[in-house]
Structure 1
Amino acid sequence: MLMNLLAFLVVGLIWEDVVVVVVGKECTNTPTQLASHTYRYEYLNSHNKSWKHQVLMLSHDHDHLTPTDDSAWASLLPRKVLRQEDEVGWMMMYRQMKNQVGKGQVTGTFLNEVALGDVRLNADSVHGQAQQTNLEYLLLLDVDSLVWSFRKTAGLATPGTAYGGWESPDQELRGHFVGHYLSATAQMWASTGNDALKQKMTTVVSILGECQEHLSDGYLSAFPSEFFDRFEAIQPVWAPYYTIHKIMAGLVDQYVLAGNNQALKMGDNKHLLLAHLFDKPCFLGLLAVKADELAGFHSNTHIPIVVGSQMRYEITGDPLYKEISMFFMNTVNSSHMYATGGTSVSEFWSEPKRLATTLQTENEESCTTYNMLKVSRNLFRWTKEIAYADYYERALTNGVLSIQRGKEPGIMIYMLPLGPGMSKATGYHKWGTKFNSFWCCYGTGIESFSKLGDSIYFEEAGNNPGLYIIQYVSSSLNWKLGQIVVDQKVTPVVSWDPRLRVTTTISSKKEGSSSSLNFRIPFWTTSSAKATLNGRDIPITSAGNFLSVTKKWSSSDVITLELPITLRTEAIQDDRSEYASLHAILFGPYLLVALTTTDSDLKPESDSLSDWITPIPSDYNSNLISLSQESSHNNFALAHNSNSITTIQFPDPGTSNSVFATFRIIPTDPKTRVSSNNVIGKTVMFEPYILPGMVIIEQGKEKSLGIVDSVKLSCDSGESDSGFMAATSFKVNDGISNYHPISFVAKGVNMSYLLQPLYSLRDEHYTVYFKLH
Structure 2
Amino acid sequence: MKAMDIDAGRRRLLAWSVAAIAAGWMGFPQQVLAFAPGRIARPAPGSVRLLPSMFADAVAATRGYLMRLDPGRLLHNFHVQAGLPPQGKVYGGWESDTIAGHTLGHYLSALALMHEGDGDATCKARADAIVAELKRCQQAGGDGYVAGFTRKREDGTIEGGRVVFDEVSRGDIRALPFRLNGSWAPFYTWHKLFAGLLDAHRCCGNQDALEVAVGLAGYVERKLAPLDHAQMQQVLDCEFGGMPESLAELSAGTGDARWLALARRFRHDVVLDPLAAGHDRLNRLHANTQIPKLLGAARGFELDGDRGDAAAALFFWQRVTGHHSYAIGGNSDREYFQTPDTISKYVTEQTCEHCNTLNMLRLGRYLHRWSGDVRHVEFHERALYNHILSQQHPDGGRYTYMTPMLSGEARKYSEPEGEFWCCVGTGMESHAQFSDAIYGFDGRDLTVDLYIPSTLEDAERGLSLRMSSTLPDAGQVALEVVSAMPGALRSVQLRIPSWAGQARILVNGHEVGAPRRNGYALLEREWRDGDRIEIEFTLPVLVEPCGDDPALVSLRRGPCVLAADLGPADQPWDGIEPWLPAGVERSFGPPGEDGRLSVNLPSHPRGLAFAPFHALHERRYAVYFRHFDAEARRAWEAAQAARRKQAEALDRRSLDRIVPGDEASERAHAFASTGDSYAVSYRRQSGRDARTGGAFEFTLRGERAASFLRMRYWGEEHRRRFTISVNGTPIAHEVLDGGRGDDFVEVEYPLPDALRAPPADGWRVRIEPDAGYSAGPVFGSWLLEA
TM range (shorter): 0.5 to 0.7
Residue of structure 2 in register with 1:548 after alignment = 522
**1:509–1:383 Cα change, 3 Å:** closer
Equivalent in the alignment of 2:585? 609
How far is the alpha carbon of 1:447 from its aligned partner? 0.8
Correspondence for 2:676? none
Residue 447 of structure 1 is matched in structure 2 by 429
Determine which of 506, 513, 536 is the counterpart of 1:539.
513
Task: Identify if the C-alpha distance between structure 1 residues 475 and 746 changes in structure 2 by more than 3 Å, giving closer, same or farther.
Answer: farther
Deviations 1:7-63 (A, max 9, x none): xxxxxxxxxxxxxxxxxxxxxxxxxxxxxxxxxxxxxxxxxxxxxxxxxxxxxxxxx
Matches within 5 A, 1:84-163: 110-122=39-51, 124-163=52-91
Aligned to 1:228: 165
**1:323 match: secondary structure:** helix
What CA deviation, in whole Å up to 9, does each residue of 1:625-650 have, x standing for no partner?
Answer: xxxxxxxxxxxxxxxxxxxxxxxxxx
Mapped partners of 2:418, 2:445: distance in 1: 46
CA offset at residue 333 of structure 1? Answer: 2.3
- Residue deviations 1:87-132 (CA, integer Å, cap 9, x gap): xxxxxxxxxxxxxxxxx9975852111234111111x301110111
| SS of 1:113 mapped into structure 2 | coil
In the superposition, relative to structure 1, how do residues 513 and 110 fare at CA in structure 2: closer, same or farther (>3 Å)?
closer
Work out the CA distance in 2 between the residues paired with 1:355 and 1:412.
Answer: 24
| Other-structure match for 1:491 | 470
CA separation in 1, counterparts of 2:167 and 2:330? 34
SS in 1 for 2:183: coil
SS at match of 2:619: coil
Q: Structure 2: how far apart are the matches of 1:176 and 1:603?
A: 44
| Distance in 1 of aligned mates of 2:48 and 2:59 | 13
Q: Please give the secondary structure, in 2, of the residue aligned with 1:443.
A: helix
Shift of 1:541: 4.1
Amino acid at match of 1:524: W
Q: Which amino acid aligns with 2:290?
A: H
Scaled by the length of structure 2, what TM-score is found? 0.65
Partner of 1:744: 598
Deviation at 1:299, TM superposition (A): 0.4
Q: In the superposition, relative to structure 1, how do residues 106 and 581 fare at CA in structure 2: closer, same or farther (>3 Å)?
A: closer
Deviations 1:146-191 (A, max 9, x none): 21111111010113222111112xx111111111111111110111
Aligned pair partner of 2:140 in 214, 218, 237: 214
State yes or no: 1:263 paired with 2:219: no
Q: Distance in 2 between matches of 1:607 and 1:396?
A: 28
User: Take 1:585 and 1:157, find their aligned partners in 2: how far apart are those partners?
Assistant: 55
- Classify 1:392/1:603 alpha carbon distance in 2 versus 1 (closer, same or farther; 3 Å): closer
Give SS of 2:46's match. helix
CA contact (8 A) 1:380 1:389 kept: yes
Aligned pair in 2 of structure 1 residues 313, 190: CA closer, same or farther (>3 Å)?
same
Q: Deviations over 1:215-266 (max 9, x none)?
A: 1111111133223345652132201111111111111111111001111111
1:589 pairs with one of 542, 550, 559 = 559
Distance across 2 between alignment mates of 1:336 and 1:409: 30
Contact 1:105 1:316 in 2 (8 A): no
- Specify which of 221, 229, 240 is matched with residue 186 of structure 2: 240
Aligned residues of 2:286 and 2:336 also touching (Cα < 8 A): yes
Aligned partner of 2:621: which letter?
Y
Q: In the TM superposition, what are the counterparts of 1:462-611 in structure 2 within 5 Å?
A: 465-494=444-473, 499-508=474-483, 511=486, 513-526=488-501, 528-542=502-516, 545-574=519-548, 579-596=549-566, 597=573, 598-604=575-581, 607=583, 609-610=585-586
Taking a change above 3 Å as real, the CA distance of residues 325 and 593 of structure 1, as seen in their structure-2 partners, is same
| Aligned pair partner of 1:293 in 281, 302, 318 | 281
**Residue number in structure 1 paired with 2:178:** none
Deviations 1:742-761 (A, max 9, x none): 43335233533211111001
Residues of 1 paired with 2:371 and 2:579: CA distance?
39
Equivalent-residue separation in structure 1 for 2:580 and 2:211 (angstroms): 64
Aligned to 1:15: none
Shift of 1:334: 2.3
Give the counterpart of 2:117 among 177, 180, 191.
Answer: 191
How many residues are aligned here? 536
Specify the code of the residue in structure 2 equivalent to 1:262: D
Cα deviation per residue 1:716-760 (whole Å; 9 max; x = unaligned)?
A: xxxxxxxxxxxxxxxxxxxxxxxx314333523353321111100
2:411 aligned counterpart, secondary structure: coil
Which runs of structure 2 are paired with 1:600-749 in the superposition (5 Å)?
Answer: 600-604=577-581, 607=583, 609-610=585-586, 612-618=587-593, 740-749=594-603
Letter in 2 for 1:422: E
Structure 2: distance between partners of 1:259 and 1:145: 25
Percent identity over the alignment is 30
Q: Which amino acid aligns with 1:369?
A: T
| Letter paired with 2:375 | A
CA displacement at 1:435 relative to structure 2: 1.3
Asked if residue 349 in structure 1 is aligned to residue 337 in structure 2, the reply is: yes
CA contact (8 A) 1:476 1:488 kept: yes
Q: Given that residues 438 and 451 in structure 2 are in contact (C-alpha distance below 8 angstroms), is that contact kept between their aligned partners in structure 1?
A: yes
Letter in 1 for 2:101: G
1:424 aligns with 2:411: yes
Kept in 2: contact 1:602–1:746 (CA 8 A): no
Gaps of 5+ in 2: 20-32, 150-160, 175-180, 215-255, 567-572, 629-786
- Contact 1:295–1:349 (8 Å) recurs in 2: yes
The CA distance in 1 between the partners of 2:462 and 2:294, in whole Å, is: 36
Give the equivalent residue in structure 2 for 1:629. none
Query: Structure 1 547/750 Cα, relative in aligned 2: closer, same or farther at 3 Å?
Result: closer
Question: Which AA in structure 2 matches 1:488?
Answer: M
Question: Are the structure 2 counterparts of residues 107 and 351 from structure 1 closer, same or farther at C-alpha, using a change threshold of 3 Å?
Answer: closer
Any conservation in 2 of the 1:404–1:413 contact (CA below 8 Å)? yes
CA distance in 2, matches of 1:448, 1:350: 25
AA aligned to 2:475 is L
> What letter matches 1:506 in structure 2?
V
SS class of match (1:615): coil
Kept after mapping to 2: 8 A contact 1:342/1:364: yes
Hey, what does 1:645 align to over in structure 2? none
Of 375, 378, 392, the residue aligned with 2:380 is: 392
Partner of 1:562, secondary structure, is: strand
Are the structure 2 counterparts of residues 306 and 748 from structure 1 closer, same or farther at C-alpha, using a change threshold of 3 Å?
farther
Asked if structure 2 preserves the Cα contact closer than 8 Å seen for 1:570 and 1:585, the reply is: yes
> Residue 768 of structure 1 is aligned with which of 609, 623, 629?
623
Please give the alpha-carbon distance, in whole angstroms, between the structure 2 residues aligned to 1:455 and 1:771: 35
- Corresponding position: 1:367 with 2:307: no
Q: 1:10 matched to which residue of 2? A: none
SS at match of 1:548: strand
Is contact 1:230–1:236 with CA below 8 Å preserved after alignment?
A: no
TM superposition shift of 1:608 = 6.4
- Could you tell me how far apart the structure 2 residues matched to 1:524 and 1:544 are? 15
Whichever residue aligns with residue 338 of structure 1, its letter is: Y
- Code of the residue aligned with 2:47 in structure 1: it is D
2:130 is equivalent to residue 204 of structure 1: yes
Distance in 1 (CA, whole Å) between partners of 2:371 and 2:448 is 15
Distance 2:125 2:70 in 1: 12
Identify the residue that residue 175 of structure 1 maps to in structure 2: 101
Worse overlay, 201-210 or 271-280: 271-280
**Structure 2 CA distance for aligned equivalents of residues 230 and 174 of structure 1:** 20
- In 2, are the aligned partners of 1:523 and 1:544 still within 8 Å (CA)? no
Q: What amino acid maps onto 1:586 in structure 2? A: R
Contact kept in structure 2, 1:335 and 1:573, CA below 8 Å: yes
- Give 1:542 deviation, angstroms: 4.9
CA distance in 1, matches of 2:37, 2:197: 31
| Paired residues of 2:472 and 2:559 also in contact (CA < 8 A) | no
Shift of 1:309: 1.4
What is the CA–CA distance in structure 1 between the aligned matches of 2:145 and 2:91, rounded to whole Å? 22
Counterparts of 1:543 and 1:133, CA distance in 2: 38
